[in-house]
Structure 1
Amino acid sequence: MTSEYQDRPTPEQIRRAPKVLLHDHLDGGLRPATVVDLALETGYDGLPKSDPAELGRWFREAADSGSLELYLETFAHTCAVMQTRDALFRVAAECAEDLAEDGVVYAEVRYAPEQHLTRGLTLEQVVEAVNEGFREGERRAREKGLRIRVGALLTAMRHAARALEIAELANSYRDHGVVGFDIAGAEAGYPPTRHLDAFEYLKRENNHFTIHAGEAFGLPSIWQALQWCGADRLGHGVRIIDDIEVADDGSVTLGRLASYVRDKRIPLELCPTSNLQTGAARSYAEHPIGLLRRLQFRATVNTDNRLMSGASMSDEFEHLVSTFHYTLDDMQWFTVNAMKSAFIPFDERLAMINDVIKPGYAELKSEWLFRQMASASPLTRWSHVEGG
């Protein structure tokens, strides 16, 4: 057992490890084959490719633009095929299934109800179709011996004017599958402060909300999300790195906003692959998550849009393990961070940590140790038994 990185988890271990996902868009995670099927069923003829494999590649290539605005254009196609109850139900059920297959045990999946009304559905019908789909996906996962719980986040579009209406909708379904609220869309020119009435309403109702901030626009959007709006979490928040100075000698100085975010344990919903696509980071090695983890920020790992990024939670962790030489302990740290930051009651979060996450990682670590001991020489095995 002499290799410096011999305790790095294998891809199979990463897939089996219990994972928690806080930032995933329903309309950004469709199976390419489902997009093709739904386009045929609904008569949508705007897809750039009709073959599922080619369409999947097109989404990834279109998203690799380095621009958040261009990245967001890809959603016109997925939203176009998600305009009926059956389509929403199918997409939500498959989302839960796919996440469970990838080892995700808890997920908060967000979507904007206002973007699914072109064929006559009401906001309430959209929410109910998605909730029913998530429950169906959970049921299918259980039949396969897998465990997952999915909560919905209702998103308002920051360039529109329906935030208060969507916040009220989220509050009315808060005990029926919806766990919180979000705003999304292009940050530049559309600050979260345009929707203060929605955030004030949610605070009066003691409800949870996250805000997309610190992805494309930087520190001002983070400050506004926290100090003016009172966000519980930061959607992305990767640009907090702009308030952290690393000297040539490796010493680190935190600005006041970065210190506040760390000291208050404000969760950062970091999405490494998506951040590379939109230009918020240039490479995995340069992604701020490495420094933020070392500085003990409340960092979490997320997918953002699995279709556009061509990435799963396992893929995200594989990149981080390869880049930063993370171990199962690091993966557990990120996962517990995410579960602590979820929008479900404290006792339910604690039960997930103690009954699902920690035992899952303990089992994987035991398997790893057993394999290492089995492959070691008799003398090495004896030294480990005797404590060296």
Structure 2
Amino acid sequence: MTTSMPPVSPFGPDPDPALFALAPKVVLHDHLDGGLRPQTVLELAEQVGYTKLPASDGPSLATWFRASADSGSLVRYLETFEHTVGVMQTAGALERVALECAEDLANDGVVYAEVRFAPEQHLEAGLTLDEVVEAVLKGFAEGEALSASAGRPITVRCLVTAMRHAARSREIAELAVRFRDRGVVGFDIAGAEAGYPPTRHLDAFEYMRAHNAPFTIHAGEAFGLPSIHEAISFCGTDRLGHGVRVIDDISLPEDADFTAHDFHGAKLGEIANYVRDKRIPLELCPSSNVQTGAVASIAEHPFNVLARLRFRVTVNTDNRLMSDTSMSKEFAVLAGQFGYGWADFERFTVNAMKSAFIHFDERLAMIDEIIKPGYAVLIG
């Protein structure tokens, strides 16, 4: 695979993320415990007596999270969550973090968000699973209200996640169904992929299907094609969390590079064809994928290959604190590397909205009344 100078973006070779702040955006893969404000982590730690933080001021703590996440290892990347989860053990803390999450996303121009978290990780102070979810949903509703009053309306919905190394996935799936008319729209499994295949949780996925409830699976990030195959063929996932290693089932011409505009001659294997043919959404997280070692660099990220081959690609943040990112920053990175313009970002945003776990009429209204009019102004 050769590399070449990237195409020049209409926003310039190194776009300012502020250029993208006004664009209506949709995020489907954003972790609640990966998006805290550094100052909030400090204040909550003081309130609950958490003494393990590696820094004592906001800027230093932010730097520590980013540096620690830049290990190139998914396992080490996940270790940073010990500190955020550690301060999210009370209803008040969960409510505050959820409220601020909604505000921060809205301030970045996000109009619809599905934010995920693992309720089973927030029980150390005696909360029940239901109380954990209730606190988070209350925070999201408060954040929505505050953002709307500030002229930045946002809709925030929740995905409840089961940890793939644990044995509570069926219980968490039942939790998702129990709260699905109150703000929870789906189910997910997350955590280290190696050694913990999604097929360990078939009971949970069968429960979701039996109740006509959607789910996504973290797959194809660290473990490659086998995890994607299991997620789609055995588990029946509706979306792929990351799914970036589907590129391993695509053969490109020898003289192609990842920044090309046309990948004529690309040959797709059975898994890649299935993912594309069935329009299975890919929850791609460019900056995070580099940090965890799923890809070597943004220049070598297969986002552009998959987008040009018309997979249903979506842009996501994954963990805003650990990656020091936002949706606007992710747009800027992609624009600078692959030369995208407003029409491209409109397509990626519509892809995401089509793939959301809310009802069809709600998705259509968001696309027709908010997303397309918003991009029409930007495109001119």
TM-score, length-scaled by structure 2: 0.94
Does 1:291 pair with 2:297?
no
Q: Secondary structure at the match of 1:281?
A: coil
**Structure 1 stretches of 5 or more lacking a match?**
367-388
1:107 corresponds in structure 2 to 113
2:356 corresponds in structure 1 to 342
Cα offset for 1:284?
1.0
1:81 to 60, 78, 87: 87
2:292 corresponds in structure 1 to 278
Task: Give, as a single letter, the amino acid of the residue that structure 1 aligns with 2:154.
Answer: I
2:35 to 5, 29, 37: 29
Counterpart CA distance in 2 for 1:38 and 1:223 is 41
Counterpart CA distance in 2 for 1:153 and 1:243 is 29
2:183 corresponds in structure 1 to 177
Counterpart CA distance in 2 for 1:101 and 1:7 is 21
Does 1:305 pair with 2:319?
yes
Does 1:318 pair with 2:332?
yes
Counterpart CA distance in 2 for 1:342 and 1:44 is 36
- 2:9–2:338 Cα contact (<8 Å) kept: no
Q: In 2 relative to 1, CA 126–189 (structure 1 residues): closer, same or farther, beyond 3 Å?
A: same
Q: Secondary structure at the match of 1:183?
A: strand
**Structure 2 stretches of 5 or more lacking a match?**
1-6, 257-264
Cα offset for 1:300?
0.3
Cα offset for 1:13?
3.4
- 2:197–2:227 Cα contact (<8 Å) kept: yes
Counterpart CA distance in 1 for 2:69 and 2:199 is 28
Does 1:192 pair with 2:179?
no
Task: Give, as a single letter, the amino acid of the residue that structure 2 aligns with 1:163.
Answer: S
Does 1:45 pair with 2:51?
yes
Q: Secondary structure at the match of 1:45?
A: coil
Cα offset for 1:143?
1.4
- 2:26–2:352 Cα contact (<8 Å) kept: yes
Mapping for residues 144-155 of structure 1, pairs under 5 Å: 144-155=150-161
Task: Give, as a single letter, the amino acid of the residue that structure 2 aligns with 1:229.
Answer: C
Cα offset for 1:259?
0.5
Question: What do the CA deviations read for 1:340-384 (whole angstroms, capped 9, x no partner)?
Answer: 000000010000000000000001122xxxxxxxxxxxxxxxxxx
2:235 to 229, 232, 237: 229
Task: Give, as a single letter, the amino acid of the residue that structure 1 aligns with 2:129.
Answer: L
- Give 4+ residue runs of structure 1 displaced > 3 Å after superposition: 3-13
Aligned-residue RMSD, C-alpha = 1.2
Cα offset for 1:102?
0.2
Counterpart CA distance in 2 for 1:49 and 1:365 is 44
- 1:13–1:364 Cα contact (<8 Å) kept: no
Q: In 2 relative to 1, CA 7–86 (structure 1 residues): closer, same or farther, beyond 3 Å?
A: closer
Mapping for residues 255-274 of structure 1, pairs under 5 Å: 255-274=269-288
Counterpart CA distance in 1 for 2:286 and 2:10 is 24
2:132 corresponds in structure 1 to 126
TM-score, length-scaled by structure 1: 0.92
2:142 corresponds in structure 1 to 136
Q: Secondary structure at the match of 2:21?
A: helix
Question: What do the CA deviations read for 1:191-225 (whole angstroms, capped 9, x no partner)?
Answer: 01011000001000000000000000000000000
Cα offset for 1:282?
1.2
1:168 corresponds in structure 2 to 174
- 2:116–2:160 Cα contact (<8 Å) kept: yes
- 2:32–2:115 Cα contact (<8 Å) kept: yes
Mapping for residues 208-247 of structure 1, pairs under 5 Å: 208-247=214-253
Aligned-pair identity in percent equals 66
1:358 corresponds in structure 2 to 372
- 2:8–2:338 Cα contact (<8 Å) kept: no
2:207 corresponds in structure 1 to 201
Cα offset for 1:4?
6.7
Counterpart CA distance in 2 for 1:93 and 1:110 is 14
Counterpart CA distance in 2 for 1:58 and 1:360 is 36
- 1:271–1:301 Cα contact (<8 Å) kept: yes
Give the length in aligned residue pairs: 364
Q: In 2 relative to 1, CA 66–4 (structure 1 residues): closer, same or farther, beyond 3 Å?
A: closer
1:384 corresponds in structure 2 to none
1:96 corresponds in structure 2 to 102
Cα offset for 1:319?
0.2
Cα offset for 1:6?
3.8
2:3 corresponds in structure 1 to none
Q: In 2 relative to 1, CA 318–124 (structure 1 residues): closer, same or farther, beyond 3 Å?
A: same
The higher relative CO (CA closer than 8 Å, separation ≥ 6) is in: 2
Which structure features the higher share of helix residues?
A: 1
1:369 corresponds in structure 2 to none
Q: Secondary structure at the match of 2:114?
A: strand
Cα offset for 1:12?
3.4
Counterpart CA distance in 1 for 2:362 and 2:164 is 31
Cα offset for 1:249?
4.5
